[in-house]
Amino acid sequence: MSTDLTEEQKPELETAAHSTGSGLIGRARQTEVWRSVFRHPPLNSPRGRALQSFSNVFLHLYPVKVPVRVLRWRYSLRLGFIAIVLFTVLVVTGVYLMFFYSPTPAAAYVDMVQLKTGIGFGQLVRNVHRWSAHLMVLVVVVHLVRVFYAGAYKRPRQFNWVLGMALLLITLGFSFTGYLLPWDQLSYWAVTVGTNMVNYVPLVGKYVRDILLGGKQISGATLQRFYALHVAILPLSLTLILPVHIWRVRKDGFAVERGSTGALDPKACPGRKASTAALATAAQNGDGDGRRVRLLGVVDRESVTQEEQVTDDTVFAWPHLMVRHVVATLGVCATVLALGVWFQAPLKDIANPNLTPEPAKAPWYFEGLQELLSRFNPLVAGILLPGAAVMSLLALPYIDRNPATEARNRKVAISLFSMFLGLAVVLTVIGFAFRGPGWQWQWPWKHSYIEW
Amino acid sequence: MPVDQHEERQLDPPWLQRSLDRHYAWGLVFMAVLVVSYTVYQWREPHLRADAAGTQVVNSTSQGRDIFASRCATCHGDNATGGQTAPTLNSKQFLEAASDPVIRNIVSSGIPGTAMPTWSIDFGGAMTQQQIDAVVSYLRSLEPKAPSIPNWRQAAQVK
């Protein structure tokens, strides 16, 4: 029993012992309840900060220490983290919307109207859900682009790029299935145009489309299917793959800095001893991965202790990375709330299969494809080009074997990708903003046919 | 707490601590945006909701008029002015006596022992809840100009 111990003995026996702070919080930290929850020593020592990470399941997602450069906003623009925050916002708002939504043609549209008029926070939550969804597609795409230009898909992170591609496709699936759910003219025709593209797939296209729609055209069966995909299949898939994606960032090591050949480049750390630099380079040449953790494995304990003092460029994830993540979370929440307050999610007339709007546009991220289809043979524009694009993106880390990450040493990869990206952006912008009835050219400032 | 903070500062180089402080400042800015946005929402919400409700009533009333003409007028008469077998619904007394939930209930479940059937699709009828709501909106829209007919039940008694 701890009551048998003197006050002096307690801190020695319990790692959970906290500093003897004064005031209410200080006294609360001395209580048995507090110590049973927070079992780490005070956070004013390196040991305390490390033990806090070890003893907390949530903080355990983070490495105990991260390289200083990871803290900088410019390092990754925090895009991956922002995407996760947006996904969380979407889960929370989506569950709220589920309380008031039934996926039947008779009820779905009425539920949308009801959200506007009769349900507390209904329209606000729907606005936030919609703008977060669009933002998430955008952020995930920009994340991919940034990772490409940083060369962060290269060995040993090849497979994480593939996982990222899977997450991108799931995100698009989320957005596309969610697009149908309001069951208004916008959603009905956007999904009609979107699923018609599947028709161009040779041999199996028609069957795939039938399975997707649950029939020859969009109906109650489609709504049911898209709903099940949207609230069950896709969230499960994403929740399964996302932790692997994050985990592998840690296991494969943080991406190297642009312009550096490796995390342990002696030029990057002038204070490093020459012998360690040599070791580091050797480790890097061995498996293309020069993380210090590997290095720890090959040198004896004493020399590690010495090197730590000279070359440590890491800081504790708590508080430095975590505070930055909390701030990023607040920033994302503030952005989507402000968007939701000022901009209303669109709701047109109830879906009507006999009244085609002019122009009928796919969701914005497929409008580049739609634009392409309007210019070329459907087999080329609908299948060969996008298929080749997705396939080469998936296989990119295995095609591009060049280990360099600096732009000047990977001119071919960067030129090709930039051309592809430029084309995709231009086509999407044209389809999104510059097309009117009959897919004729339309200056958006004369008459806008922009739909979100 | 001040004691802890002082000790923590010594763990990190000053530039890192300054950077952390800048992030706290940004956090405060974002929280302010959240508070301001929510305040704006609270201020705009009643107007937005009233506008949406107004539009909804107009749409619903016009849909209800069509439904009434095709499903209800046979018994209750054109424009609810009463028929041979069913009560006159376009009556000041009826519309004052019957609240929206009461009318909705009667249309949904019907009245046992009379010619009034169950309309709700939930109970095997032909109308969705939304269509029934539309009919209620339509009847309610008649109230301002409804004539005074104290014996509005009469048609039913004639049967």
Establish if A94 belongs to a structural domain: yes
The verdict on A248 and A281 lying in the same domain is no
Q: What is the pLDDT of residue A70?
A: 86
Strand partners, A65: A316
- Name which of A253, A298, A241 is nearest A405 in CA terms: A253
Q: What is the mean pLDDT of residues A195-203?
A: 85
Contact A323 B16 (CB under 8 A): no
- Which B residues 95-134 touch A at CB under 8 Å? 121, 128-130
Residues A340 and A128: beta-carbon distance below 8 Å: yes
Domain count, chain A: 3
One domain, residues A117 and A197: yes
Q: What is the CATH number of the domain that holds A105?
A: 1.20.810.10
Q: How far apart (Å, rounded) are the C-alpha atoms in residues A445 and A440? A: 15
Note whether A118 and A218 are same-domain residues: yes
User: What spatial distance separates the first Cα and last Cα of chain B, rounded to whole Å?
Assistant: 84
The first and second tokens of residue A14, run together, are: 């319990």
Residue B1 sits at the chain A interface (C-beta within 8 Å)? yes
Domain with A186 in it = 72-256+345-439
Residue A277 is predicted with a pLDDT of 40
| Contact check, Cβ <8 Å, B34/A43 | no
Residue A236 and residue A170 share a domain: yes
By the CB < 8 Å criterion, does A124 face chain B? yes
Q: How far apart are CA A439 and CA A448, in angstroms?
A: 13
Q: Is pLDDT of B3 > 50?
A: no
Within 274-313 of A, beta carbons closer than 8 Å to B belong to: none
Q: Helix crossing, B14-67 with B129-142: angle to 10°?
A: 70
Assess if residue A262 is contained within a domain. Answer: no
> Nearest Cα to A20, choosing from A41, A47, A48, A49?
A41
* Residue A444, in any domain of the structure: no
Which one of A116, A117, A124 has the shortest CB-CB distance to B41? A124
Q: Is residue A421 included in any domain, yes or no? A: yes
From B3, B30, B56, residue closest to A331, measured CB to CB: B30
Domain-located, residue A157: yes
CATH architecture assignment, domain B2-158: Orthogonal Bundle (1.10)
CA dist., res. A348 & res. A187, Å (int): 9
Q: Are A244 and A390 in the same domain? A: yes
Quick one: A228 and A177 in the same domain? yes
Mean pLDDT of A325-349: 95
- In a domain, residue A373? The reply is yes
pLDDT at B52 > cutoff 60: yes
Q: How far apart are CA A251 and CA A244, in angstroms?
A: 10
Same domain, A148 and A198: yes
Which of chain B's residues have a Cβ under 8 Å away from the Cβ of A113?
52, 56
Contacts of B48 in chain A (CB under 8 A): 116, 123, 344
pLDDT of residue A259: 41
Same domain, A224 and A373: yes
The answer to whether the complex's ipTM is over 0.90 is: no
Residue B155: the pLDDT is: 60
Please tell me the distance in Å from B134's CA to the nearest CA on chain A.
Answer: 11
Q: Is residue A258 pLDDT above 90, yes or no?
A: no
A252 & A372 share domain: yes
Q: Do B23 and A323 touch (CB under 8 A)?
A: yes
Residue A15 near residue A51, CB atoms below 8 Å: yes
**What confidence tier does A174 reach under pLDDT thresholds 50, 70, 90?**
very high
Does a structural domain hold residue A264? no
Q: Do B37 and A334 touch (CB under 8 A)?
A: yes
**Those residues with Cβ within 8 angstroms of residue A378's Cβ, 6 or more apart along the chain or in another chain:** A200
pLDDT digits (tens, 9 = 90+) for A403-437: 898 889 999 999 999 999 999 999 999 999 999 99
**Per-domain residue ranges of chain B:** 2-158
Q: Please answer yes or no on whether B31 and A330 come within 8 Å at the CB atom.
A: yes
With contacts defined as CB-CB under 8 Å, which chain B residues touch A316?
A: 11
| C-alpha dihedral sign at A281, A282, A288, A293 | negative
A49 vs B contacts (CB less than 8 Å): 11
The answer to whether residue B49 neighbours chain A at the CB level (below 8 Å) is: yes
